[in-house]
Amino acid sequence: MLKTFEVKDYALIEHIKVEFNSGLNIITGETGAGKSILVDAMSLLLGERASTEVVRKGSNKSVVEGIFEVTLNKKVKAILEENEIDFLPELILRREISIKGSNRCFINDTPVSLNLIKEVGNLLVDIHGQHEHQSLLRKETHINFLDDFTSAQSLLDDYRKIFTSLTDSINELNHLKEKESLLKEKKELFEFQIKEIDAVSPLENEDEQINSELKILENSEKLMQLTADVYSELYEKDNSIYDSLIAVKKNLNELLSIDNNFTDILKELESALAILENASSFVRNYNSKIEADPESLESLRQRLGSINLLKKKYGGSISKVLEHRKKIGEEYELAENFVSRISEYKKRIDLLRSQCGITANKLSLKRKEASKKIKKEVEEVLQELGIANSVFEVHIQNEKPASENENYLIFKGDKIKCTYNGFDEVEFFISTNQGEDIKPLAKVASGGEVSRIMLSLKSALAKNDKLPLLIFDEIDTGISGRIAQKVGHALKSLSSYHQIISITHLPQIAGLADHHFAVRKTQNSSRASSDIVMLNLDERVNEVAKLISGEIITKAALLSARELMHIK
């Protein structure tokens, strides 16, 4: 449930903060007052794309924030935990649109991506705007309405995973076939390069290691002379550093026998003697291992030359050479085994087509089962909404054969055209008058009928739909009078299952509100601004009366308003 909705510096809105309640929340206001701007702001909060044009003139950014009660929403909890966001009884969504073009999204004050805020928003709110009437007239949207009713989302997800793997494999196979002639042309070149690199078989960082070894071999005479001189100075010659320290140690021992204060310095000298002995031993051993080796020197020079030649030809470093070897090795292997690789892909694709067929058939059976139920429930609601004796049917076709150039699955040995939604084609048919044949909905429904059909679908979906909030932006388009009152009662009934926010211009609907809000536009000397207020009982009566009689409220209009609101 949406508890608080706050908008700052968005279009005509300078700052509003409104608290909604459960049940039927009605919003009214004059044309141009800013009612639909509220819906646009809500759409922005839930992840719709935004333009810097929405930022109110003179402001640096627009801010839209909603606080939702989500204590029992397990799906929202799972998404938040998956993204390491604290799950709290109240969920705070916020979006900020800057005039500089930056777009920041937050969930519980944690920065998140636009996709994540949209994913969470899809679990909280369904916005039915005026444009959605037209979507019902597009055949391709009907399958989505039916799938919402089937509650078979996990099965649809399974199918889509297999279908995606299928299309990816087909694309990879086509890419492979396109490469065939090119690979045949380059096969000899790849073979030559592979042999050239493998003849050297350089190791990672081998050039650095060879350079270090060369430096030592090329300076062997100098190393021998210097290490000999160091060993002599440290230990070997008369009056070496070691001999001098031994003499000092002898004197310190005599001093220690007289004064204990020399204990620590004697220990330090003994440590120095130990270090000196270790250093002398290392230098002596190093010197003994030095030998001139012209053959090793030349061998290393030649190998370094071979490695440098490869580096020059294939990228400038050993890692680039090895990367190139791996790539052309895979290409060469592909060229060598092209037929078998093609065969492997075809086997995989055939398997995926069969898996698609099995899963699509399960999904189709679910849809056919749901279509009978949705037919019954939609016809019942249409009867209540004033379309008597209507017949509503869901036509599901899934026997359309496919050509080799189309995406298809295999079911019971047949090739059947398929899409991301399965192999079903779904279309709504209706007859709104007794005795008439059913026809495609798009060809027979008037504007007012489309509004009622949409509402009947929403009503049928209500018990299955777990979305806590439904928003209707002037669903009463094209209706009036007695039918408007029936639509109002349908909305009232829906509010038993969901929190409803409905923007309307009809008094028959507004009179049934549990909570009534009015949007007003004020104009000062410099600019216009929209605001929204919650009405008390007397204000509600006046607002409904205004919808009946216009700006001048008559006694008759007030009386009618009270009757519509069931107030004595």
Residue from 509, 440, 437, 442 nearest 473 by CA: 509
Task: Say if residue 212 is in the same domain as residue 105.
Answer: no
**Beta strands 469-473 and 499-503, pairing class:** parallel
Task: Say if residue 211 is in the same domain as residue 81.
Answer: no
Q: State the pTM of this model.
A: 0.63
A 10 A CB-CB count for 137 gives: 16
Residue 390 — pLDDT band, cuts 50, 70, 90?
Answer: confident
Statement: residue 154 has pLDDT above 60: yes
Counting Cβ atoms within 10 Å, is residue 499 exposed (0-12), middle (13-18) or buried (19+)? buried
Alpha-carbon gap, residue 354 to 359, rounded angstroms = 9
Q: CATH number of the domain that 51 lies in?
A: 3.40.50.300
Mean pLDDT of the chain: 87
Q: pLDDT by residue (tens digit) across 438-497?
A: 888 877 656 667 777 878 887 877 666 667 888 888 777 777 778 888 888 888 988 888
Query: What average pLDDT does range 187-198 have in this prediction?
Result: 88
3-state SS, residue 296: helix
Alpha-carbon gap, residue 425 to 398, rounded angstroms = 6
A 10 A CB-CB count for 520 gives: 13
Residue 48 has what pLDDT? 87
Task: Say if residue 129 is in the same domain as residue 210.
Answer: no
Residue 363 has what pLDDT? 95
25 inside domain:
yes
A 10 A CB-CB count for 207 gives: 18
Q: Which letter, b or e, does each residue of 171-204 get, where b requires 16 or more Cβ atoms within 10 Å of its Cβ? A: eebeeeeeeeeebeebbeebeebbeebeeeebee
Alpha-carbon gap, residue 461 to 497, rounded angstroms = 10
Task: Say if residue 16 is in the same domain as residue 117.
Answer: yes
Whether 452 and 385 have beta carbons less than 8 Å apart is answered as yes
**Beta strands 469-473 and 125-128, pairing class:** parallel
Report how many helices (DSSP H) and strands (DSSP E) the chain contains, helices first: 19, 17
Residue 402 has what pLDDT? 66
Q: pLDDT by residue (tens digit) across 339-358?
A: 788 888 899 999 999 999 99
Task: Say if residue 128 is in the same domain as residue 9.
Answer: yes
183 inside domain:
no
Residue from 542, 475, 556 nearest 511 by CA: 542
Q: pLDDT by residue (tens digit) across 30-79?
A: 877 788 888 889 989 988 888 888 899 888 999 999 999 988 788 888 89
17 inside domain:
yes
In the chain, the number of structural domains is 2
Task: Say if residue 118 is in the same domain as residue 248.
Answer: no
Q: pLDDT by residue (tens digit) across 236-256?
A: 888 889 889 999 999 999 898
85 inside domain:
yes
Residue from 456, 449, 504 nearest 476 by CA: 504
Task: Say if residue 128 is in the same domain as residue 228.
Answer: no
Alpha-carbon gap, residue 180 to 398, rounded angstroms = 36
Among residues of the chain, what percentage have pLDDT more than 70?
Answer: 95
Counting Cβ atoms within 10 Å, is residue 487 exposed (0-12), middle (13-18) or buried (19+)? buried
Distance, CA of 348 to chain centre? 29
Residue 366 — pLDDT band, cuts 50, 70, 90?
Answer: very high
Residue 399 has what pLDDT? 66
Range of the domain at 499: 1-136+457-535
Last residue of a domain, one of 313, 344, 364: 313
Residue from 135, 133, 10, 128 nearest 65 by CA: 10
Query: What average pLDDT does range 183-205 have in this prediction?
Result: 87
Q: pLDDT by residue (tens digit) across 541-565?
A: 999 999 988 878 888 999 999 999 9
